[in-house]
């Protein structure tokens, strides 16, 4: 009789154990000579040495399956334990899987161009209207890099541009004041990483979410760094951010030129950066448009309606000036 403790690292144990510990009960029935006790992410197993070896090997295969697909089904457990062939590779085009097991992958030509630009360049600008998936896809690429250990950390940032409310008048401490600006980034991460694991990664600073001002003075190495809503940066801010780039780091800068919240007298740093860096080697630029919108079909119609309104207004202003 031997005893071992197996740790389910990097995965949500709830997915592994199943609803109401259904998966765990099934595994116990398939290993009758072992006494299996699970608590949190640790499995304590006691029993026959021969079955122990098989159990240890198959638990690791199941853990790897959950790590890849964010899901585990009864048929997957049976296939792994009975030695049948299982789907070990992520299907072509899939970046990562959501917490519901849904494959996250490019859904349009320009989204595919964004993925290719990321693979081929260390710095990528992704510009397009709301709903084109530029932020969500960028975070998926960062999560994939973390899973595959090609990056040691993810750093996500946004400019905290005040829209109607002054930060000083909002309730709470600085984190409470800033978090609403960063919520879309939290939402995307929570869709791809188990809640408990995400919290642990944030506490260990493997995943960092901070306002743009917190980037000053840092050198960012071994990371995927995403600047979201870059249209709301000033020229000085985006210049500061871009020069934080360190070794083995990839940067993705996303923005929507139709949603600039800066004062009218202030030039957007994103517009200036795209002009200055247009022909710099090693930088990729991907322009997304209304055809890439993957939200509700009404979002496409709304974006198109506003684009037509802006064109008509600009045309009228030009005629009036003449």
Question: What does the pLDDT look like over 184-242, one tens digit per residue?
Answer: 888 999 999 988 888 889 999 999 988 888 888 888 899 999 999 999 999 999 999 99
* Nearest-10 crossing angle of helices 134-147, 109-120: 40
Question: What does the pLDDT look like over 76-129, one tens digit per residue?
Answer: 999 898 887 555 556 778 999 998 888 999 999 999 999 999 999 999 999 998
pLDDT higher than 50, residue 166:
no
Asked if 40 and 200 count as a contact pair (C-beta separation under 8 A), the reply is: no
Instruction: Give the β-pairing of 96-97 and 103-104.
Output: antiparallel
Q: How many CB atoms sit inside 10 A of residue 274's CB?
A: 20
- Rounded to whole angstroms, the Cα distance separating 191 from 185 reads 10
Q: What is the dihedral angle through the alpha carbons of 261, 125, 129, 113, rounded to the nearest 10 degrees?
A: 180
The whole model's pTM is what? 0.77
pLDDT value at residue 169 = 46
Q: What is the dihedral angle through the alpha carbons of 79, 191, 294, 129, rounded to the nearest 10 degrees?
A: -150
- Rounded to whole angstroms, the Cα distance separating 185 from 289 reads 21
pLDDT higher than 50, residue 170:
no
User: 165: pLDDT confidence band, cut at 50, 70 and 90?
Assistant: very low
Asked if 175 and 210 count as a contact pair (C-beta separation under 8 A), the reply is: no
Q: Smallest Cα–Cα separation from 64: which of 2, 8, 120, 125?
A: 8
Strands (E), the chain: 2-7, 34-39, 42-47, 96-97, 103-104, 123-127, 153-158, 207-211, 223-227, 250-255, 283-287
Question: What does the pLDDT look like over 273-309, one tens digit per residue?
Answer: 999 998 899 999 999 988 887 766 787 788 778 878 8
> At a CB cut-off of 8 Å and minimum separation 6, what does 221 contact?
246, 247, 248, 249
- Rounded to whole angstroms, the Cα distance separating 321 from 104 reads 48
Question: What does the pLDDT look like over 27-63, one tens digit per residue?
Answer: 999 998 899 999 989 999 998 788 888 899 999 999 9
């Amino acid at each position: 009789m031997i005893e071992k403790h197996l740790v389910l690292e990097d995965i949500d144990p709830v997915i592994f154990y199943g609803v109401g510990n259904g998966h765990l009960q099934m595994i116990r029935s398939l290993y009758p000579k072992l006494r299996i006790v699970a608590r949190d992410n640790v499995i304590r197993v006691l029993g026959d040495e021969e079955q122990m070896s098989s159990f240890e090997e198959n638990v690791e295969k199941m853990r790897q399956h959950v790590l890849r697909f964010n899901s585990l089904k009864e048929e997957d457990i049976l296939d792994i334990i009975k030695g049948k062939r299982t789907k070990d590779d992520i299907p072509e085009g899939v970046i990562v899987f959501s917490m519901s097991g849904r494959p996250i992958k490019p859904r349009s030509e320009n989204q595919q161009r964004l993925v290719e630009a990321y693979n081929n360049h260390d710095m990528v600008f992704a510009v397009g209207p709301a709903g084109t998936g530029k932020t969500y896809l960028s975070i998926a690429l960062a999560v994939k890099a973390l899973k595959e250990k090609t990056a040691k950390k993810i750093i996500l940032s946004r400019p905290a541009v005040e829209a109607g409310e002054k930060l000083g008048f909002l309730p709470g401490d600085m984190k409470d004041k800033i978090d609403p600006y960063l919520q879309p980034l939290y939402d995307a991460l929570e869709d791809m990483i188990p809640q408990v694991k995400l919290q642990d990664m944030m506490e260990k600073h493997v995943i960092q979410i901070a306002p743009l001002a917190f980037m000053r003075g840092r050198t960012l190495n071994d990371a995927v760094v995403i600047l979201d809503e870059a249209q709301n940066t000033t020229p000085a801010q985006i210049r500061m951010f871009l020069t934080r780039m360190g070794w083995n780091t990839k940067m993705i800068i996303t923005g929507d030129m139709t949603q600039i919240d800066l004062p009218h007298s202030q030039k957007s740093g994103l517009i200036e950066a795209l002009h200055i860096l247009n022909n710099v080697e090693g930088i990729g630029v991907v322009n997304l448009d209304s055809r890439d919108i993957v939200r509700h079909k009404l979002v496409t119609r709304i974006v198109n309606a506003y684009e037509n309104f802006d064109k008509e207004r600009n045309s009228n202003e030009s005629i009036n000036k003449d």
